[in-house]
A and B are shown apart, each in its own frame.
Chain A
């Protein structure tokens, strides 16, 4: 049995995984990256609109800083975020953008002088400062107070991904492409790596490591209509879940993006609306201001998606062969803007819809987009339940996004978490206490177990087709666990999913190849996907409130009193199990810098927690005591977090309006 030994095993070749790999490698550790596909094909590359970082270079971003970014993020999360993590994140995001700039990402730059933009359907002339000329530009995105989204035209993720992957190659880090992790090797307390399968040859072997990192992205393919790539099947989530030890957090928090093109679900960026695009209904009426007078088309994604579905339900959808949709109108931006700034969008419209968005409205409808839930970790990115297991990016519940992620915060999270968790992984490996003899026998036992499972799957005389069961699962998820949820629907969904899980025990595989065999892959992934689907549905059924992207028609209010807590899902090891075990992790208002309140958009009524007023009072007091101090000292007094960051990332961020003292 082949066993590879390394210091750090990174599962997933997207932005988070690669950045962490580079970080660990630079600290002198041997790193091995597993990836289902060549890293540059990772779904990170599909991010279009941009990455949030409070650089405050453009005139509409002037005055932006970590504080505003922090508040936007926490409000966006509907107070589900871990505020310490959010602070760590907002302080590192500018560094991440600047590091990428130094590594080669061709960020769009500020041009001095006047330029015309569309804001709230009106032409406005903005004049950029001379001193900002040539610095990284920002655009507007949903749910943000300032223009904060750094971008490379509308191919931001692509440009970032290629920069990162090129840096990985420069650092001579080995990637095992087309290799899939099947199971984590662990003894119940410590993770030692993973059993992996070469998807081409079918070889099954083990990669043993001091630190194992899951950075496998989201699980959008649990849904029928999703913007996610076909590889986003949540297999990293499943790795942790199937240990029975490391839980997943907040899996019911699933984001739907307002503008998936209809009916294919391919994403067109939020940048369309950020740059001035509007949503329109069957009458051509711009309906968002009717629902959200404050942020209009640029409220957070959960809110806009819900309003869109609500509007369709009220009979204002545009009928078509495939069902109803709404329009995204970017014609008002003009060819001179769409050409260079929304190029991917234009290409996508031309190819998949046969329309030119310069002249025609784009048919859109919300589509599954982001998995806020993931492997629950602490602020260092490590699972508190399984030592040596780390997670970052969409696969993790670090918990930056709570119950709704802001546009532009996901690519930002990937790189930022990669930087931070990469350092902590290096620290972990440096610590002599963590250098233990690798239990090779255990690894062999795990290899054998996985081999047996696959042999059984190949040889069992079942009749069920994995591809069809998968489609059924996706239908159920889209129908019952979508944007609007209710006890009845969720219950129905759970029953359906459980039936599928039972049926999946009698899968029949026609091609017996042990090597490259798409049917076999679909079969073993299906069972894992069903477990994840059940975790989402069960969590959603239990959570009797509406928070962020999780909306219950039977419990429409946010309930801080009972539900200001994270769902933790464990999958019991009993093979007959059909439901996860749920536990809850409280979120302490008393430690918050920003206690719960109204988000500034969306529903205004919520059930308050008794601690909230108390904490509000405390905060007022601290603020008045520290009135004479600068914003950093004030913040530190409210919620100290700097010590949580790796030392190399603690520095303050320079801005045009906030020069650093040269001594630093």
Chain B
């Protein structure tokens, strides 16, 4: 592959600094083979602009830290090969989440709030199981189905891509639905649909979702969000029909 020059237009803004105004700043960069946005951004920071803020942790697409808007769409920067991008690329922070500075956003804070709100932990009868004993059995298929949804990395792409969330700040978001679906699939969890209805059975929850499905289309882990959200909607609708 031949090397080429690309321009990264990066949204710069530091909300903590008085007088800082959001603007796009251009950086020119020579590409290299197998260069990802992780490598490109670090190169810029090392050689052109040490003040540039962005987040990376695992740089292998498994931790979800580096989600950002790449030409208007949320993606994991570490998994984005520069070779796939056009000559001019606009990088911007994920919308919706609290901005820390430049490309860095506070997804962690929001995700913790989401977990607290949706009680995203396994609910069991036994408070402290006897861990010396042989574990409870679980069908291999059930474990696989749970893991399928458990692969979510809470990167925030789905929420940043969600038109509903853009309009209502209190929307649960696909990540939240994914969590509920995960625990609903888990035979160890004792909660019923009526319990889940208390968590997502309103317009900030599953009935507020307008099925724009950008969540499904941008999910870097390819979680089956469309089907799972539809499934939850049907179950929650049943509860609302049956409920007194």
Interface residues of A (CB under 8 A from B): 37-43, 45-46, 55, 94-99, 101-104, 106-111, 133-137, 152-153, 155, 158-159, 162-163, 166-167, 169-170, 175, 177-178, 200-201, 229-231, 263-264, 266-267, 321, 340, 344, 347-348, 351-354, 465-468, 471, 509-511, 513, 515-519, 522, 651-656, 660, 664
Contacts and interface: CB of A to CB of B under 8 A. Distances in A.
A102 B111 contact: no
Contact of B138 (A109, A159, A163): A109
Given A104-B122, A169-B116, A351-B61, A516 B135 contact: no
B194 interface: no
Given A102-B136, A110-B140, A655-B134, A467 B50 contact: yes
A517 B54 CA distance: 10
Contacts of A522: 50
A104 B186 contact: yes
Interface in B109-160: 109, 111-112, 115-116, 119-122, 124, 126, 129, 131-140, 142-144, 146-147, 150-154
A37 B108 contact: yes
Nearest to A170: B121
Contact of A45 (B58, B112, B115, B140): B58
B11 interface: no
Given A41-B65, A516-B16, A517-B51, A660 B133 contact: yes
Contacts of A509: 50
B57 A651 contact: no
B60 A513 contact: no
A46 B126 CA distance: 30
Contact of A653 (B46, B56, B111, B132): B132
Nearest to B188: A104
Interface in B25-73: 33-34, 36, 45-46, 50-53, 55-65
B172 to A, nearest CB: 16
Given A37-B108, A135-B137, A106 B147 contact: yes
Contacts of B116: 169
Contacts of A152: 143, 147, 150
Contacts of A660: 132-133
B33 A321 contact: yes
A270 to B, nearest CB: 16
B16 A106 contact: no
28 contacts: A38-B107, A40-B64, A41-B57, A42-B57, A55-B135, A96-B131, A98-B134, A104-B188, A106-B143, A106-B146, A108-B143, A109-B137, A111-B140, A135-B134, A177-B106, A177-B108, A178-B100, A178-B108, A229-B63, A263-B34, A264-B34, A347-B61, A348-B61, A352-B34, A515-B16, A515-B17, A516-B14, A656-B134
B164 interface: no
Nearest to A664: B132
B59 A266 contact: yes
Given A352-B36, A511-B50, A166 B121 contact: yes
A561 B154 CA distance: 52
Q: Which has the most chain B C-beta neighbours within 10 Å: A37, A40, A344, A466?
A: A40
- Pairs A-B, 3 closest by C-beta atoms: A38-B108, A134-B137, A104-B122
A515 B102 CA distance: 13
B82 to A, nearest CB: 12
B146 A468 contact: no
Nearest to B39: A264
Interface string B176-207: 00000001001011000000000000000000
Nearest to B80: A351
Q: Which of B36, B53, B60, B112 has the most CB of A within 10 A?
A: B60
A512 B112 CA distance: 31
A652 B133 CA distance: 9
A660 B131 CA distance: 12
A108 B65 CA distance: 26
B140 to A, nearest CB: 4
Nearest to A13: B108
Secondary structure class of chain B's binding surface, majority of residues: loop
A351 B151 contact: no
B46 A158 contact: no
B176 to A, nearest CB: 13
A328 B240 CA distance: 54
Interface string B82-114: 000000000000000000110010111101100
B104 A516 contact: yes
Given A43-B57, A519-B50, A136 B63 contact: no
A314 B133 CA distance: 51
Nearest to A175: B112
Given A38-B111, A135-B134, A159-B147, A229 B61 contact: no
B235 interface: no
B109 A267 contact: no
B9 interface: no
Given A41-B65, A170-B121, A158 B153 contact: yes
B124 A102 contact: yes
Contacts of B150: 106, 152, 155, 158-159, 162
B121 to A, nearest CB: 4
Contacts of B63: 37, 40-43, 45-46, 229
Contacts of A104: 121-122, 183, 186, 188-189
B147 A511 contact: no
A264 B39 CA distance: 10
Contact of B57 (A230, A465, A466, A517): A230
Contacts of B133: 98, 654, 660
Given A41-B65, A169-B121, A513 B136 contact: no
Given A98-B131, A169-B112, A513-B51, A134 B139 contact: yes
A106 B57 CA distance: 24
A104 B146 CA distance: 10
